[in-house]
Amino acid sequence: MSTYRAVQVSGAGTGDWALVERELTDPLPGQVRLRVEACGICHTDALAVGGVMRPDPSAPIVPGHEVVGVIDAVGAGVTRWHVGDRVGVGFLNGHCGECDFCRRGDFVNCADQPVTGTSVDGGYAEVAYARASGLVRIPDGMAPADAAPLLCAGLTVYQGLRQAGAGPGALVAVFGIGGLGHLGLQYADKLGHRTVAIARGADRAELAARLGARHYIDATAEDPAEALRGLGGAAAIIATVPDGRAMSPLVAGLAPHGRLVVLGAGMEAMSVLPGDLLFGQRSIVGSLVGTPIENEDNLAFVGEHGIGSMNEVMPLSETPKAFERMMSGKARFRVVLDTRA
């Protein structure tokens, strides 16, 4: 095969989609080439499709950063990965190992790290390329469509909960039951937290309980911060909804030394009263995915505890429709492309 199918987008706003044939090339030194089997569609892809994060919105890019496939070629200097290895590639396409952040072991904040599907082509295609330093080993027996959303959505909530620093039995709230939140409830429960789900409407209460929530707060019927204080205050709130205005009032529901961990990447600003931070020594932190080895820890945790993403699977040829399905908020709860279909 000398070509492969890819779905690219160019322009800004909603983007101009095109299903194209691309020439197959050899991986560069330090890279691998993989045959993509599945790629999740993440809300963060909207920043690439809309041209917000792309270096040149007029230039076409293949989006997608929840990529699962099999290596079929390795570039010069790659020694730890081999043809036939099942691997994944997440939001970060591989750290350089040479910048000051890498030299201090802070690989997530590498100053020379491509962003999969945004600054380099991603996984809405039959073939993808990645630095060897960005690869995640996929466990045997884990299906591609099951693994793909865990590489970004799963890792994001897993790392956010770890950064929260809450111990077993601590009250931990998950704000939003969507693509991130439905996973966050499962992770929080399996980490031993006393889990609270916060969402709009009473219709999500039963689902929240099935996902591991011990308490449910309907944000349309009561003040979430006041409800959390009534439960003793949250050691951590995992904010998965990409709306800074909606997150802001939750700070008052934190217990002393509690943390609001921001995972949802939205364009609305947060507004917090200084006193809500000062009195109780509360804090707001952001959490951005993790390293490839942390992603392998994430997948091992998922396999051990039976955590799963609820997915709608669609073929590569229907990528624009699949993307719109994700953006509509009607998907339950992740959309995954089967690139072999």
CATH architecture of the domain with residue range 3-151+290-338: Alpha-Beta Complex (3.90)
> Domains of the chain: which residue ranges?
3-151+290-338, 154-286
Distance of CA 279 to the CA centre of its chain: 32
Q: What is the pLDDT of residue 26?
A: 98
Q: What is the pLDDT of residue 14?
A: 80
Give first-to-last CA distance, the chain, whole Å: 17
Q: What is the pLDDT of residue 215?
A: 98
Q: What is the pLDDT of residue 139?
A: 98
What are the C-alpha distances in Å from 66 to residues 63, 90, 114, 194, 311?
10, 5, 14, 29, 13
Give Cβ neighbours of residue 98 (< 8 Å, ≥ 6 apart): 112
State the Cα–Cα distance between residues 185 and 242, nearest whole angstrom.
Answer: 17
Domain 154-286, CATH homologous superfamily name and number:
NAD(P)-binding Rossmann-like Domain (3.40.50.720)
3-state secondary structure of 152: coil
Token couple for 207? 């689902």
Q: List the chain residues with pLDDT less than 50.
A: none
Instruction: Kindly report, residue by residue over 129-175, the tens digit of the pLDDT.
Output: 999 999 999 999 999 999 999 999 999 999 999 999 999 999 999 99
Q: What is the pLDDT of residue 218?
A: 98
Q: What is the CB neighbour count within 10 angstroms for residue 29? A: 11
195, with CB counted inside 10 A (0-12, 13-18, 19+), is buried
Q: What is the pLDDT of residue 118?
A: 95
Q: What is the pLDDT of residue 47?
A: 87
Q: What is the pLDDT of residue 15?
A: 80
Task: Give the helix ranges, DSSP H, for the chain.
Answer: 45-49, 100-103, 144-147, 153-164, 181-190, 205-210, 224-230, 244-247, 274-278, 292-305, 319-328
State the Cα–Cα distance between residues 128 and 144, nearest whole angstrom.
Answer: 15
Q: What is the pLDDT of residue 22?
A: 97
Token couple for 5? 């199918």
Q: What is the pLDDT of residue 267?
A: 81
State the Cα–Cα distance between residues 85 and 117, nearest whole angstrom.
Answer: 22
Q: What is the pLDDT of residue 265?
A: 83
